Structure 1
Amino acid sequence: MPSVILETERLRLRAFTEHDADDVLRAATDPLTQRWLPIPAPGRPYTRADAVAWCVETAPAARASGDGQHWAAVCRRTGRYVGSFGVSRANWVARTIEIGYLMSPDARGRGLAPEAVVAITRWVLLDQEFERIALKAATDNVASRRVAEKAGYVYEGIERNAIRLHRGRADLAVYSVIRPDLTG
């Protein structure tokens, strides 16, 4: 995938750098993040080494391999890190991909996540010519499901027992956007 910076009214989505590691660590180790995202792996605590690896190895490798792209979201006004957004699991033949994100605790509830998701969605469907983006969230993760709805994603149903979280297995609510949703 091409390296690209996306901008919204309040956000700049740019490539991760090693300087983002401490911010990524704070966001990734937040109890609410850990409740819903099994990072780095179910039952394993997230460390600074994981954050550094994410910023300098894992995120850039996803783009280079064609699997997806990941952005550090920063406030345009202050430059402060507010979250991580990305697309992954690219199926280039079917032109489908998944979107995911996590927000820093102090950036939640301000409408920043839907703002970033809309920008990424438009870039993926219109500029990269994908046909479908899926967004999946644990069924009890009300905030993440609200992001999907605010960003215009359509609820499709439940994938039962689909993810292993730190505290056990969970069902996933599945949402999607397809290109005609943007033009129709």
Structure 2
Amino acid sequence: MPDRPSQPMMPSVILETERLRLRAFVDSDIDDVYLIQADPDSQRWVPLPWPGAPYTRADAERWCRENGPALRTSGGGQHWAATERDTGRLVGAFGLLRTDWQAMATELGYTLAPWARGLGYATEAAVAVSLWAIDQGFQRVELKAATANTASRRVAERSGFTFEGIERSAIPLHSGRADLACYSLIPADLER
């Protein structure tokens, strides 16, 4: 019987933009990861560690030390800690997840720090990560946001993603289920 091919893995890279450096998570990020993910506005849209459970510092430790790196090594995607280039302060977490290597499709996900909202960082990092994915040969990058999450929907639009429709009752949140607005970016979009 032929051997099954091993799961591809994204390369470990640092991405840089005008104001941001996106790199792997390290232990010194744990406290800020905890503050970002435990923030009520973050929890409203990204119910980590799962719906109904509060986010703890232990969850942040697991994320930085195990879960974040494991996504890349398992072939499931890639996560970056987004930091300000000038100060080194963590401003968010950005990643590619739910990667389908046969279809060459992946999904962009992120959470932004309360202290970094409204500064354009989410769009700047979303563009960098999406362009990097397409440069790696991905034919589709998806971005999904709860329909009521207008800030994330604006990020998708400002980043050049095309709205495709609504997935009904597609995500469990702490407050119940929500519909998802679905967006995509494909290589042909970059030619426009």
TM-score range, shorter chain: over 0.9
Which amino acid letter does the alignment assign opposite residue 156 of structure 1? E
3-state SS in 2 of match to 1:77: coil
Tell me the residue number matched to 2:62. Answer: 53
Q: CA deviation at 1:19?
A: 1.1
**Counterparts of 2:181 and 2:86, CA distance in 1:** 34
Please say if 1:101 is aligned against 2:81.
no
Tell me the residue number matched to 1:114. Answer: 123
What does residue range 57-68 of structure 1 map to in structure 2 within 5 Å? 57-68=66-77
Which amino acid letter does the alignment assign opposite residue 175 of structure 1? Y
Q: CA deviation at 1:49?
A: 0.5
Q: CA deviation at 1:153?
A: 0.4
Give 2:167's match in structure 1, choosing from 156, 159, 176: 159
Per-residue CA deviation, residues 77-132 of structure 1 (Å, 9 max, x unaligned), is 00010000000111000000000000000100010000000000110001x10000
Which amino acid letter does the alignment assign opposite residue 111 of structure 1? G
Which amino acid letter does the alignment assign opposite residue 140 of structure 1? A
**Counterparts of 2:85 and 2:20, CA distance in 1:** 5
Which amino acid letter does the alignment assign opposite residue 123 of structure 1? W
Which amino acid letter does the alignment assign opposite residue 164 of structure 1? P
Give 1:30's match in structure 2, choosing from 36, 39, 54: 39
What does residue range 106-145 of structure 1 map to in structure 2 within 5 Å? 106-126=115-135, 128-145=136-153
Unaligned runs of 5+ in 1: none
Structure with max Cα Rg: 2
RMSD across aligned C-alpha pairs, in angstroms? 0.6
**Counterparts of 1:180 and 1:10, CA distance in 2:** 27
**Counterparts of 2:178 and 2:41, CA distance in 1:** 15
Give 2:49's match in structure 1, choosing from 40, 45, 51: 40
Which amino acid letter does the alignment assign opposite residue 153 of structure 1? F
**Counterparts of 2:46 and 2:128, CA distance in 1:** 22
Q: Give aligned pairs, total.
A: 183
* TM score, norm. by length of structure 2: 0.94
Q: CA deviation at 1:67?
A: 0.5
Which amino acid letter does the alignment assign opposite residue 146 of structure 2? A
Q: CA deviation at 1:182?
A: 1.2
* TM score, norm. by length of structure 1: 0.98
Q: CA deviation at 1:7?
A: 0.2
Q: CA deviation at 1:183?
A: 2.6
Q: Percent identity?
A: 61
**Counterparts of 2:189 and 2:75, CA distance in 1:** 25
Give 1:2's match in structure 2, choosing from 3, 8, 11: 11
Which amino acid letter does the alignment assign opposite residue 175 of structure 2? R
**Counterparts of 2:109 and 2:132, CA distance in 1:** 15
